Amino acid sequence: MPVVQVEALERRFGAVAAVQGVSFDIEPGQVLGFIGANGAGKTTTMRIMATLDVADAGRVVIGGHDVMNQPEQVRSQIGWMPDSYGTYPHTTVWEYLDFFARAFGLEGRARENAVADVMAFTDLVEIQEREMDSLSKGMGQRLCLGRALLHDPSVLILDEPAAGLDPKARVEFKRLVRLLANDGKTIFISSHILSELEEMCDAVLFIDNGQIVHHGSAESLMRVDDESAVYVVSLASDPEGLARWADMTPGVELVELTMKGGRLRFPMAEPRQVAEALRRLVADGLPVIEFRREERRLEQAFIETLNKNETLNKNETSTTAVGNGRQS
């Protein structure tokens, strides 16, 4: 059973359709990345899941509880980390966590332990007496994550937790997410930083204009089908030689020349034919020092997915327009 089920979610703000028919499941223990440009609908989706906003249509069930009808039960199971959180003046790290532990209904020794455990996990023990408005961005994010963990929730919803962190703090944050995942938590995490999610997540969910445009493993997005596989070739000589060779060789297309050589495509080629092409390249006297299949980066895959979606939408619109034209 998926621990999170989102079905046909819709949310409008006046004329803006922020979320349009979003559906997905998250399996227990899965780390699912949520990727989308500014205004794509990530925060709106997450806020509905976290019981902080109400959908116009559709439903969300977390741990068997409907967010609309059983928000209390849902809140006890989720840890929510917003993309920005308010700081309180003259409040120390410890006081802040203790306050939220009380809000979560923890009492006595259980509360003390929860605050101590969270501070140890998020590396806040040494700065527990610091006032929270004096913290660095990285410390603040760790504190915000700590707040979300106080009641030991099984599902974490993290809205852009790495935004604005410096590289060191980002690495540290990633490590904490990985530890939580190893601990069996189900994690839904949004980001603009695609390469980060690629390393952290079991699967990624792409949202554009309030609609899911891809749901799958990061690898499935980056895999290049054989038809469009591109090979990078580097030479120890003038790259022009590669252009001439590609021109004369059937079944080879030059995608572009680079400083060191070029990028070649072998349309419809079997791996054996690619191997044969490499043998010919060498036999024809080109000094090959590198020959490797190019991998798409997640960023590139994302852009291609968005472009595909845009083309689909345009085609649908023009089909509708043609249909209307015929009728009138």
Q: Which residues bind ligand ATP (CB under 6 A)?
A: 13, 16, 18, 36, 38-44, 83
Q: Give 114 or 157: the residue with its C-beta nearer to ligand ATP.
A: 157
Round to the nearest angstrom and report the end-to-end CA distance of the chain. Answer: 49
Shortest CB 237 distance to ligand ATP, Å: 47
Amino acid occupying residue 51: T
Closest among 3, 6, 1, 2 to 207, alpha carbons compared: 6
Looking only at the bridges linking them, the beta strands covering 78-81 and 155-158 are: parallel
Shortest CB 53 distance to ligand ATP, Å: 8
Shortest CB 133 distance to ligand ATP, Å: 23
Shortest CB 154 distance to ligand ATP, Å: 24
Q: Give 98 or 198: the residue with its C-beta nearer to ligand ATP.
A: 198
- Helical (H) or strand (E) element with 323: helix 298-327
Q: Give 98 or 159: the residue with its C-beta nearer to ligand ATP.
A: 159
DSSP H helical segments within 161-297, as ranges?
167-182, 194-200, 218-222, 240-248, 271-283
| Cβ pair 241, 235 in contact under 8 A | yes
Give the tokens for residue 265: 């495509």
Q: Give 41 or 261: the residue with its C-beta nearer to ligand ATP.
A: 41
Q: Give 48 or 169: the residue with its C-beta nearer to ligand ATP.
A: 48
Q: Give 205 or 264: the residue with its C-beta nearer to ligand ATP.
A: 205
How many whole angstroms separate alpha carbon 46 and alpha carbon 81? 10
Amino acid occupying residue 288: V
Shortest CB 38 distance to ligand ATP, Å: 4
Q: Hey, is 31 helix, strand or coil?
A: strand
Q: Give 48 or 176: the residue with its C-beta nearer to ligand ATP.
A: 48
Beta strands per DSSP E along the chain:
4-13, 16-26, 31-35, 57-62, 65-66, 78-81, 155-158, 186-191, 203-208, 211-216, 230-235, 253-257, 261-265, 288-293
Residue 296, number of CB atoms within 10 A of its CB? 16
Shortest CB 318 distance to ligand ATP, Å: 25
Shortest CB 54 distance to ligand ATP, Å: 12
